[in-house]
Structure 1
């Protein structure tokens, strides 16, 4: 038996009946487990496990069950794959609205048991519900730190446009919204189309603005995105002007990608900031 299989048995308390590659394992109770290593990003396993538990709300999008975890390894159930359909997309929108409406203790609130210093991708993300409003929190914890990091790395030469966004954020943000319970890293790769539903994986969960999850789906593309939006708005209508605010909410993931990968993402982040200012 391989070491990964031994890890799965230790963390789940179940016997591995068969190994299906390096990360999938059939258990003796019929479940299929997926093993993920988070050793390179300290604290990422705790953050992901807490996030999965937090966004697993009644009526929300289904997420894998956490079968076991330690400081290095995370074991979850396998999501069986299907194909994207408009019906599944509309249902995802309705369920995503339920998740958001479940709420959070504040903007930046971490999931219970999750670390304040978490991860998005392979870069750090600080949580902490210490801001009085979403514009203040978004500027201080989701945009400014990554603008500084990208500037210091030489990927952003001129940060004037971001400073203009900071100055106008209360105006640009639209009507005040209560803290929503966010997936937090909702690009298309973290949506798995199952036989009956669309599932969510790999959250960077926190309390935030509900338009942020929708804007991230728009940023990297998703099959039948219009159906997702329609289903969402059937359940929880969005405030007027939400479409014009998409670039504002895309600043965070674009800046994260700039910090991680540099290159063309810096130009996309600047373009998004300019578009946000045109609201």
Structure 2
């Protein structure tokens, strides 16, 4: 790998790490998270500032994601049809259930949240752009459940099962049991695996050709809605997954 390519990859890693701190973080924190020497992290951060992908607050001495990221992500979402197709479906699902609703897609071994709609009374704890390993959330598990078994197994074998909370599934065997149950009933439930006090039910979004386009979920705090409560919204969840599959298939670019 050339030195230029190496520098670019390091810069992209730093840019991704900045997503953990949308309100900003000092260079020392970014350097620690990236495991780069402070001088290297500092140089990369200032290169990102110069290109508009990061901003530096001279008063707080913190770096935060720049407007260029928002501009780029908005164009990608628009080009893929997410803005015009996903948000209306999530809003209708939230209106029907009075809960928060989310849509995520798979990127390698992670899910990336594309859009969210907060419920009228309680805000969910995941934001657009958030990235989680496949084994953590109901959406990640739903995506695995929607995939052919051999493909899902291949992905599961690559997971490190880093815990998000003490309730996060911690083994391939346990995850396979959750996925098998999900295939049987058509949805996957998770309780406090992403955040303590929160639970969610997710379903895969599968196009007519059997391709998994992502997953949709309904999330709520446990004191407001338990598993039994969320399962009562199963029909609305299935309808949302179907509508998303049709809409996203329609706008997919053709070769």
Q: Output the TM-score relative to the length of structure 1.
A: 0.27
Larger RCO of the pair (alpha carbons < 8 Å, separation 6+): 1
Q: Output the TM-score relative to the length of structure 2.
A: 0.29
